[in-house]
């Protein structure tokens, strides 16, 4: 069976999945794996997707110093041990800028364009591109597909897309992009299977994880997002502040004497729940803590979700459903309850028992706004896009030969 490899690369980890191209035309999960501790304590783990372990191996730090090397190690294991050689690789790429509004087959020219957006997503973009560069050198014949987190939001109206700045900057690409698009695209499709009538209406999705944002959907399409030009905007996150007065940034630069690099590092690594609590960026640690800072951070996150829900409800002129997804949204009943309390004004009436059980629908039948918990699957979305693009290229090639 032909297979597709999906790659989601971070700064010190690399998640990968191997999908079979089934007869139904839908990707079928065969293997899921991860390389953690890249550069410090590298560890490769993989299983069949049903908790049957296939490998759990540690490596010397010098043998896996970066993400580019990690993809070589994972690919070699798939090829040499499992005799699996994917026919294509799909990658999550956070920022597609103004150039890319859909998945694209990657070459050196595409990588050069995407490199320009590294300053706009410094925690993600360089690491997203590292395995692409490595595979271009190692296997230039292997099709690679970039799937963008910004693409799902590219249909926004001008009112949602623009800042109140001169036109010349908009033309350069300074605009509101929105992120977590692969997650929103998957959840929108899944909601269409769960509750088709609601999915065609007005829906707010809260992607709550270490990175967090919210998206307003109308008829399954993104119309507004809490994130903008970069992934710093909107909700407070694990280590990012979310919405902040630009004057604070100017203050750090001019009054505190911080360099641009130091300010960037501060905003991406020292703020958010970590900065507020003074304890941790992990909601699990904060929920377990009795410290006032932990309570402040959790209440602040719930408060900001409530504020942004109001903004998105205004963009939609009403709300039919609210959906929780991603790590916190899927697993933290405590945070869902905190947030739901803030959203009672919307007509949300949470069912505590269903919420505690992580049920699919966690609102009471009397709730004016239905509330769901829908686990996301960005990797499956990448696999679907990659397979669709391969099929399209194959059909075009067949057509050309016929001519």
Contacts 24+ apart (CB under 8 A), 22-30: 25/387, 25/391, 26/384, 27/380, 27/383, 27/384, 27/387, 29/380, 30/3, 30/84
Contact 358, 333 (CB under 8 A): yes
Sign of the torsion formed by the C-alpha atoms of 109, 112, 116 and 119: positive
Picking from 367, 378, 369, 282, the residue whose alpha carbon sits closest to that of residue 325 is 378
Cβ proximity of 281 and 239 under 8 Å: yes
How many CB atoms are located within 10 Å of the residue 280 CB? 18
Closest CA to 89 of 99, 74, 109: 74
Residue carrying the six token digits 């050309």 = 400
List the one residue out of 126, 125, 121 whose CA is nearest residue 268.
121
Give me the catalytic one of 149, 233, 320, 351: 149
Is 149 among the residues known to form the active site?
yes
The CA-atom distances, in angstroms, between 278 and each of 203, 272, 339 are 34, 10, 22
302: tokens are 């719930």
Catalytic residues: 149
């Amino acid at each position: 069976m032909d297979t597709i490899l999906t790659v989601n690369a971070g700064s010190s980890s690399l998640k990968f999945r191997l999908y079979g191209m089934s007869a139904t035309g839908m990707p079928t999960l065969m293997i899921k794996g991860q390389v953690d501790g890249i550069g410090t304590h590298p560890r490769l783990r993989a299983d069949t997707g049903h908790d049957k372990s296939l490998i759990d191996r540690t490596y010397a730090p010098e043998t896996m110093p970066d993400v580019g090397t990690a993809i070589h190690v994972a690919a070699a294991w798939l090829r040499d041990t499992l005799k699996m050689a994917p026919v294509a690789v799909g990658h999550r790429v956070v920022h597609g800028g103004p150039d890319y509004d859909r998945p694209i087959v990657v070459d050196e020219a595409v990588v050069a364009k995407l490199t320009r957006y590294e300053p706009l997503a410094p925690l993600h973009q360089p690491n997203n591109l590292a395995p692409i560069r490595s595979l271009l050198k190692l296997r230039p014949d292997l099709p690679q597909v970039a799937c963008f987190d910004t693409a799902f939001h590219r249909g926004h109206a001008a009112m949602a897309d623009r800042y109140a700045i001169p036109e010349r900057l908009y033309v350069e690409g300074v605009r509101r992009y929105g992120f977590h698009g692969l997650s929103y695209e998957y959840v929108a499709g899944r909601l269409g299977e769960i509750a088709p009538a609601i999915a065609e209406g007005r829906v707010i999705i809260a992607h709550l994880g270490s990175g967090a944002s919210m998206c307003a959907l109308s008829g399954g399409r993104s119309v507004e997002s809490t994130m903008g030009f970069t992934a710093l905007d909107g909700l407070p996150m694990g280590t990012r502040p979310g919405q902040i007065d630009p004057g604070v940034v100017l203050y750090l630069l001019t009054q505190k004497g911080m360099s641009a690099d130091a300010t960037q590092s501060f905003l991406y690594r020292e703020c958010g729940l970590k900065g507020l609590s003074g304890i941790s960026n992990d909601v699990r640690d904060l929920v377990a803590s009795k410290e006032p800072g932990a309570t402040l951070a959790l209440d602040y996150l719930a408060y900001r979700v409530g504020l942004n829900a109001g903004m998105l409800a205004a963009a939609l002129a009403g709300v039919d459903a609210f959906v929780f997804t991603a790590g916190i949204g899927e697993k933290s009943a405590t945070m869902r309850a905190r947030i739901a309390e803030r959203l009672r004004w919307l007509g949300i009436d949470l069912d505590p028992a269903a919420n505690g059980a992580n049920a699919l629908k966690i609102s009471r039948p009397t709730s004016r706004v239905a509330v769901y918990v829908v686990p996301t699957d960005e990797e499956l979305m990448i696999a679907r896009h990659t397979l669709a693009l391969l099929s399209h290229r194959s059909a075009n090639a067949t057509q050309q030969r016929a001519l």
